[in-house]
Amino acid sequence: MINPPYLRVLTDDEVQQVYQASLRILAETGMVVDHERARQMLEGAGARVDHAARMVYFAPDLVVRQHSTDG
């Protein structure tokens, strides 16, 4: 079997920078979650929720902890 060509677009350091920026965006900017029950569940899991604005903010340790249990 022939392996397809491998294209590396980002260095390991650049990947880490993107990852850290993503964690910062989730914590500081958050994301809109329209579904009320989903917001309640995320709040129960430790996310900060602004129900009036339908915004959910994820602390970096929450994201890292969840990511480590998914893999």
Secondary structure of 22-44 in the HEC alphabet?
A: HHHHHHHCCEECCCHHHHHHHHH
Q: Is residue 7 in some structural domain?
A: no
CA count, 13 A, side-chain hemisphere, 61: 2
Q: Is residue 3 in some structural domain?
A: no
Which residue did the predictor score with more confidence, 39 or 71?
39
Q: Is residue 6 in some structural domain?
A: no
Domain span holding position 57: 30-71
Residue 70 has pLDDT above 70, yes or no: no
Q: Let me know how long the chain is.
A: 71
Q: How confident is the model at residue 71 (pLDDT cuts 50, 70, 90)?
A: low
Q: Is residue 15 in some structural domain?
A: no
Q: Is residue 63 in some structural domain?
A: yes
Q: Is residue 68 in some structural domain?
A: yes
Other Cβ atoms closer than 10 A to 62 = 18
Q: How confident is the model over 11-62, as pLDDT tens digits? A: 999 999 999 999 999 999 999 999 999 999 999 999 999 999 999 999 999 9
The whole-model pTM stands at 0.79
Q: Is residue 71 in some structural domain?
A: yes
